[in-house]
Amino acid sequence: MLTDSTPECVTCRAPIASPYCPQCGERRASDRHLSLFEFAEDALEAFTHFDGRLLRTLKSLALRPGELAVAWVRGSRVPYVSPLQLFLIANLVFFLCAGAIGNHVFDTPLRSQLGSGHARAFKREMLARKLHVATTDSLEFRRRATAFVPTYDTQSFTLSKSLVFVLIPPMALVVGLLEWRRRRFAAQHVVFAFNAFSAFLLLMVAIGAPMTGFLHWRATHGYSVPGNTDNFYSYPLVGAWAIWMALGFRRAYGDHLVMAAAKALVVAFSFLVALSYYRVLLFIATSYST
């Protein structure tokens, strides 16, 4: 019951007669104690609440592909972390593990940029201008490029952590074009793309870690190992991701299995195309920022 002596909420100034404000949810000021114990209690509550949502989100992402997009469209947001939060967490986990598992899919060292791939001639000419070398086939170019490798690779790794975000809009566009007959909201395609990319990042860690251990075991026991580990990972990774996307298309959009599998392959192929242009963009950004 509200009376003249009913305290006000310290946040929104609404009368508050219960432990929590009915307008904004703020805790009653008289119930707070400015102690280290209360600080620790608030921190533990916040962590366990987020931790529970994260575990629930990861479980749904792994075991029920497409369910997070369905839940988002349905309006069920509280039980899960947001698609952007999930992507940021997956991105952090991947880049923390990338060096250990030897995965350079997104940071692409200078030797890989110049050795092969899309726009190789353009990259070499651009680097020659930056290094003030007339031609790309001279000994001086190779000498300066070799000396430039540590600087370039460090900056490339740093930029790739945020620049990798540019791969999501093209994926969402492809998903939207594949599902245009269903007249879904564009936001659903974006959410599905965020979840698919998060799954891809986590799959690279889940597949890359045991394979790195296997390659290390072979090397220490005198067996041959492939020179390009990225190619060694690519087949099981793309296969696992294609299966995830096929199941995701079935659950999120109601596609039949064959059609869902075909769409998954289209998304995977378009992702590889976008990845080649991403590496050009990464090369340009790294070159201008070093």
Q: How are the residues of the chain apportioned to helix, strand and coil, as percentages rounded to the nearest 5?
A: 70, 0, 25
Q: 104 pLDDT exceeds 90?
A: no
Give the residue, 28 or 252, on which the prediction is more confident: 252
d(CA 101, CA 56): 26
What's the pLDDT tens digit per position in 110-142? Answer: 888 888 767 888 999 999 999 998 888 888 999
Residue 210 included in any domain: yes
Per the domain annotation, does 17 fall within a domain? no
* Ramachandran angles phi, psi of 20, nearest 5°: -130, 145
Share the mean pLDDT of the chain: 84
Q: Considering the entire predicted model, what is its pTM? A: 0.79
In the chain, % of residues over pLDDT 90? 43
Task: Find, among 213, 178, 205, 206, the residue nearest to 192 by Cα.
Answer: 178
What single-letter amino acid sits at 217? Answer: W
Beta-carbon contacts of residue 182 (< 8 Å; ≥ 6 apart): 253, 254
Is the distance from CB of 210 to CB of 193 less than 8 angstroms?
Answer: no
Segment among 45-49, 170-174, 236-240, 261-265 with least mean pLDDT: 45-49
3-class SS of residue 20 = strand
Whether residue 38 lies inside any domain: the answer is: no
| Enclosing domain of residue 114 | 64-288
Rounded Cα distance, 212 and 241, in Å: 19
Q: Is 284 exposed, middle or buried (0-12, 13-18, 19+ CB in 10 A)?
A: middle
Helices (H) and strands (E) in the chain, counts: 10, 0
Q: What is the largest distance, in Å, between two alpha-carbon atoms of the chain? A: 87
Angstrom distance (rounded) from CA 114 to CA 153? 12
Collapsing DSSP to helix, strand or coil, 153 comes out as: helix
Residue 16 lies in a domain: no
Answer yes or no: are the C-beta atoms of 188 and 69 closer than 8 Å: yes
Q: What is the mean pLDDT of residues 220-247?
A: 77
Does residue 95 lie in a domain region?
Answer: yes
pLDDT at 233 over 50: yes
Here the tokens at position 86 are: 């999930």
Residue 150 counted as domain residue: yes
In a domain, 54, yes or no: no
| Tens-place pLDDT, residues 186-206 | 999 999 999 999 999 999 888
Q: Show the tokens assigned to 42.
A: 């608030």
* Owner of token pair 């952007």: 84
> What's the rounded Cα separation, in Å, for the pair 185 and 105?
31
| Cα–Cα distance for residue pair 187/176, rounded to 1 Å | 10
108 occurs within a structural domain: yes
Please tell me the distance from the alpha carbon of residue 12 to that of residue 79, in angstroms, as a whole number.
27
Give me the phi and psi of 27, to 5 degrees please: -75, 145
CA separation, residue 153 to residues 100, 110, 128, 273 (Å): 15, 6, 17, 22
Count of structural domains, the chain: 1
Cα separation of 32 and 53, whole Å?
A: 26
